[in-house]
Structure 1
Amino acid sequence: MKQSQSLIYLDANATTPVLPAAAKAAMDAMEHLYGNPSSSHITGLQAKALMEQTRQAARKHLGSGAGKLVFTSGATEGIQTAILSALIAARDNSSANKTADERACLLYGATEHKAVPESLRHWNKVLGINARVLAIPVDREGRLDLDFIAAHGAYALLICTMAVNNETGVYQDLPALERAIRSANPQAFWMVDCVQALGKLPLELAATSIDYAPFSGHKLYAPKGIGMLYIRDGAPFTPFIAGGGQEGGLRSGTENLPAMAALKVVLDMLNGDANDRFADHATLINYRLKLIAALQSAFGEIVLNHSLNNSVPTTLNFAVPGFSSKEIMDLFDAADIRVSSGSACSSKVTGSFVLDAMGLPRWQSESAIRLSFGPAICDSEIDAACERIIRAAGSLRHSCLLARDSKLDDGSRTPLSGLLQFKDDGACCWLYVEPQSRSAVIIDPLPALEQRLLGIIRCQELTLRAVVDTHGHGDHSSNREGLVAKLGLNGETDHLGWPADCETIELQGCHVEALSLGNQQLVRIESPGHTDDSITLAMLDSAGKVLFAFVGDTVLPGSIGRSNFPQSSTGALYQSLKIMHKLLGNDTLLLSSHDYHNDFFTNFAVEAAQNPLLAAVLGGAMDQAQFVSEKAAMDATLNDKAGETIMCGAYSQCGSTKGVKEYSTDSLEQLLRDNSDALVLDIREPHEYELSHRESRCINVPLTRLAGFVASEPQARSKPLVLICRSGSRSLVAARALERFGFSAIAHVAGGYALLGNRTRNAA
């Protein structure tokens, strides 16, 4: 059994570990300075002294001068307090009367943390100000548009900007920004989010006209739950939390003294008042360059999403061409490297609004990875991170997802065979590799997957027999011709890519064309209806048995393909469904060219059980005229809108699934002890699986190969199967698909490896 490797944490912009010295200071405060700072006895006075020492350390580092420095629970509270204070003052400033001006506005940077615009909108509405809330645009390097500020600043009640961006590390030129703001409006209130600036940029707040500046301790080695808010001397202030009058009446509530004690340790290090030191600016720059070099060595090519010239050296935001952010995050997590896809305050991995605002291509936004570290990191940690990154990417080479590099490669690769499913925005592409001959076919190729498909074919040294579309697609363009040209595939084909030199065989009384793949055959079945050129491609084994069929959009999981396109025929679809059912039967795995709901695959038995219209057709209870009428009503529910994905099936009637059983650490171990037939399916991709630990009763069945598993392992339907992945998300999706398909004892591990921990991960 392999031992778990050490964790490499490169997500400091989300949060940092608490420094050991800071944790000790917090523990000492809890054990010895547990008094209430508001109490007048000696224990309380000692606690208050520690609190004020922390405040003085903060004043020294921030250059707060005569300004107030209030302790808060963190940045979000500080932002709320600042915005509330400024807007109440603006509302009550009857002499200026700007709130009554229809041009009145609240400005914020377009790349600002979501806490800022959401708070602006909230308090703008609650206080009845109803000013316009406007985003200040940024350029491709993330710099705020000073001309926009000049144009709108005169009517701004409050301007909110960011010192350092949390996703890209881009910092603003605060002196230039101040000149632009004060030239446009000397009276406007100005808040600067300084959360990511602490310890990274020099700040002399009292020397500026910044009215409010929030900070958060957990971004720089202090515990969560402690923050600070700077308020310029003379700036208006309204307490966000009222009560016992702590913090001079500015912020009520018993002070979080242990967290303040920890924060003081960090501030003393920043001020040079401690024996320990953080790495200096030049060292941090060198660390980032080392990481960039490692990423380039590992992946061959990376694209930086920001300039190194105007970003703090502890942040690196990049993209790997051909890979989504989730794929890289999953890979790094399997290698015990922690990174982020952007802001940790968003639970969904989608495109980055920060990079979108900067005008970067959408693929960079959707592929963005944020790698960030703190100034307490050392040479050995950076070197270990670089080595681990290169090793993690090596697993992609073994899986043929990255180009092979003799300098980094041991020459080995994981042989590929069977059925693979690739997806892009609901569309599916299929690759099938016949195991013996290593010959392959690609069905319904997608432009976004071209480089991946080319890499797999070349790396695996497959003999590509054909690239075929099941029909002319309406929602995307096929890149079949590009693949054929780049792979040097010769031979005459029709417009869908079906080879002209095929033989004709008989399949259940019907004559069909067949393409040989080793000892198997791919046969073409005409199935018009969804489009007039729709075909079905069925794979036969050496005995002529149908293994599975690529059905295009004639049948989709949960639906029948729509037939109201100009090139459609509902009557032809009726006949095609009956012919396909005759040739394929109830149980053959049907592989569609779209999968909108993560069902992956289906068959006629499953679909008929959930779709009364299809059941009536296949059972002979409905004639063609009735089908045409009812199908028209189903298709009428589709409403194609400009700019939205064209749906290729109507989902007016869908079956429901039962709740999928969930296992935890203890219950999974109990199952494996009690049931020798139970299997754990690790559904992560092979490169993730290779980097992690497992034992004999855990087999790798990634989502891309789930259909192949179902096709080749029919006996697994009756076995207890427990699915597991990194976080529990993919395993739940796959479990629901298998349950829908008729697997009788399916479950998944809630929380995945993230919650199981090393003990159970090594046992399951």
Structure 2
Amino acid sequence: MPAYLDNAATTKPCEEAVAAALAAMTDNYGNPSSLHRVGLNAELAVTEARKSIAAALVCLPECITFTSGATESNNTLIIGAAEHYGKRKKKIVVSAIEHPSVEESMKYLEKNGFEVVRIKPQKTGEIDADEFIAAVDYNTVLASCMLVNNETGAIMPVKKIFTQIKRSYPDCITHCDAVQGFLKIPIKTADLNADLITVSGHKVHAPKGVGAMYIKKGIRVNPRMLGGGQEKGMRSGTESVPLISAFGAAVRAQLQTIPTAWSNAEELNNRLRKKLAALDYITINSNAEDQCPFILNFSVKGIRSEIMLHFLESKNIYVSSGSACSKGGHSSVLTAMGIPDKVADSAIRVSFSRMSSCGEVEALATALQEGYMSLAKR
């Protein structure tokens, strides 16, 4: 049996998601915009999924817009909000360890006249809330901070940051990429004080190609996908009923099991940490505190990531060297944390899901020792 431990890159669709997608392709195949019964049934399926995502984020269903995934959502929310509210205010504050879809959106806005202030993480991987808050002023149009880092699993103090920003500068728009925290950490939009939130389907056992945006009631975002006006004009294009239905089904299947899933991931994370701590050629890059247990990042001394990855693959064990959405080059996250290039170049990211097992952790630990003994001699 393969040991798949790359769930921060993508997850295996759950049975409920597969069944929902199949039903939408074979039975409920109408266009949600059609006015006849077949179209209405498809629209009802989309509505049901919208309610499911809204329930998970504790918000109104009308605040949810479906997209093709987190990259589209982040691009739309960040650029769309900046364009709408940034006529006079031209400053944006963001963490320096965001997903590439956030960072590239920031670079685009920089080229179009915005000032972007990036807050570097502490050595533990977390953003200092006070430093972030201090960077925001009356000229700040947008503040963006992810909930859980996709490479280290560090949990960011988003609630503290956004709450203070809203107290001092209520007109500043707050955006949170919650992809790696969704269905792992309980999220309440009002409690988080986020105006805009991004979530993705394939990180929570739904298929690839579907995501969602939360846009707080009253907040305006310029759409970037123009056409037939679907999704209340925010995201034109015929809705993918199979993918959206699958996303909703996956959320419904997992929403009530968040505490149990957290405990299981914590057990696996702690088990692996103990095994790695006994090996003097392993450096653990993920902090032990303020950490989402679904992700653990570590480095194997003297062995480049891709070499160890291929060895583990030969043993039917699948992990990652960092963000699957950013191929090649140094990890900008580990570099921002002050981790030396040699250590960053040998980084391995292990990420768990609800389907992960102790047997997979044992197999990985054994293979890492075999790999080091074999590869270090070359």
**Which bracket does the TM-score occupy, shorter chain normalised?**
over 0.9
Displacement of 1:234 in angstroms is 0.9
Alignment TM-score, normalising by the size of structure 2: 0.93
Partner of 2:327: 347
Letter in 2 for 1:133: V
* Residue correspondence of structure 1 range 390-469 to structure 2 within 5 A: 390-391=366-367, 393-394=369-370, 396-397=372-373, 399=374
Q: Separation in 1 of the partners of 2:258 and 2:293?
A: 17
Q: Separation in 2 of the partners of 1:199 and 1:351?
A: 29
Match for residue 282 of structure 1 among 226, 245, 263: 263
Letter in 2 for 1:113: H
Q: Separation in 2 of the partners of 1:384 and 1:84?
A: 41
Letter in 2 for 1:394: E
Q: Separation in 2 of the partners of 1:293 and 1:33?
A: 49
Alignment TM-score, normalising by the size of structure 1: 0.47
- Contact 1:278/1:376, CA 8 A, preserved across alignment: no
Mapped pair 1:369 → 2:352: no
- Contact 2:130/2:161, CA 8 A, preserved across alignment: no
Displacement of 1:180 in angstroms is 3.5
Report how many aligned residue pairs link the two structures: 377
More relative contact order, 1 or 2 (CA 8 Å, 6+ apart)? 2
Partner of 1:14: 9
* Residue correspondence of structure 1 range 237-256 to structure 2 within 5 A: 237-256=221-240
Q: Separation in 1 of the partners of 2:335 and 2:360?
A: 33
Partner of 1:131: 114
- Contact 1:314/1:375, CA 8 A, preserved across alignment: no
- Contact 2:50/2:61, CA 8 A, preserved across alignment: no
Larger strand share, 1 or 2: 1
Letter in 1 for 2:57: L
Q: Separation in 2 of the partners of 1:363 and 1:180?
A: 38
Q: Separation in 2 of the partners of 1:206 and 1:21?
A: 29
Q: Separation in 1 of the partners of 2:245 and 2:184?
A: 21
What secondary structure is seen at the aligned counterpart in 2 of 1:144?
Answer: coil
Partner of 2:101: 115
Partner of 2:132: 149
Query: Cα deviations across residues 377-401 of structure 1 (Å, max 9, x unaligned)?
Result: 3xxx33144135404533543x4x5
What secondary structure is seen at the aligned counterpart in 2 of 1:359?
Answer: coil
Match for residue 322 of structure 1 among 302, 305, 312: 302
Q: Separation in 1 of the partners of 2:205 and 2:155?
A: 21
Letter in 2 for 1:285: E
Q: Separation in 2 of the partners of 1:396 and 1:210?
A: 44
Letter in 1 for 2:314: A
What secondary structure is seen at the aligned counterpart in 2 of 1:317?
Answer: strand
Letter in 2 for 1:218: H
Q: Separation in 1 of the partners of 2:122 and 2:360?
A: 35
Q: Separation in 1 of the partners of 2:49 and 2:315?
A: 39
Partner of 1:500: none
- Contact 2:74/2:198, CA 8 A, preserved across alignment: yes
What secondary structure is seen at the aligned counterpart in 1 of 2:180?
Answer: helix
Partner of 1:199: 183
Mapped pair 1:225 → 2:209: yes
What secondary structure is seen at the aligned counterpart in 1 of 2:116?
Answer: strand
Q: Separation in 2 of the partners of 1:151 and 1:177?
A: 10
Mapped pair 1:190 → 2:174: yes
Q: Separation in 2 of the partners of 1:166 and 1:116?
A: 12
What secondary structure is seen at the aligned counterpart in 1 of 2:123?
Answer: coil
Query: Cα deviations across residues 429-486 of structure 1 (Å, max 9, x unaligned)?
Result: xxxxxxxxxxxxxxxxxxxxxxx5xxx5xxxxxxxxxxxxxxxxxxxxxxxxxxxxxx
Displacement of 1:301 in angstroms is 4.2
Match for residue 77 of structure 2 among 79, 82, 105: 82
* Residue correspondence of structure 1 range 472-487 to structure 2 within 5 A: none
- Contact 2:3/2:316, CA 8 A, preserved across alignment: yes
Displacement of 1:183 in angstroms is 4.5
Letter in 1 for 2:103: P
- Structure 2 gap ranges (5+): none
Identity of aligned residues (%): 33
- Structure 1 gap ranges (5+): 1-5, 99-103, 402-451, 457-703, 705-764
Letter in 2 for 1:119: S
Displacement of 1:17 in angstroms is 1.5
Letter in 2 for 1:361: P
1:306 to 1:384, Cα distance in 2 relative to 1, 3 A:
closer
1:66 to 1:7, Cα distance in 2 relative to 1, 3 A:
closer
Partner of 1:292: 273
Q: Separation in 2 of the partners of 1:163 and 1:69?
A: 18
Q: Separation in 2 of the partners of 1:357 and 1:310?
A: 18
Displacement of 1:54 in angstroms is 0.6
What secondary structure is seen at the aligned counterpart in 2 of 1:30?
Answer: helix
- Contact 1:66/1:232, CA 8 A, preserved across alignment: no
Displacement of 1:240 in angstroms is 1.6
Query: Cα deviations across residues 715-749 of structure 1 (Å, max 9, x unaligned)?
Result: xxxxxxxxxxxxxxxxxxxxxxxxxxxxxxxxxxx
Letter in 2 for 1:288: N
Q: Separation in 2 of the partners of 1:335 and 1:390?
A: 10
- Contact 1:194/1:214, CA 8 A, preserved across alignment: yes
- Contact 1:216/1:227, CA 8 A, preserved across alignment: yes
* Residue correspondence of structure 1 range 627-646 to structure 2 within 5 A: none
Match for residue 165 of structure 2 among 173, 177, 181: 181
Displacement of 1:280 in angstroms is 2.9
Larger helix share, 1 or 2: 2
Q: Which has the larger radius of gyration?
A: 1
Q: Separation in 1 of the partners of 2:368 and 2:108?
A: 44
What secondary structure is seen at the aligned counterpart in 2 of 1:107?
Answer: strand
Q: Separation in 2 of the partners of 1:53 and 1:323?
A: 49
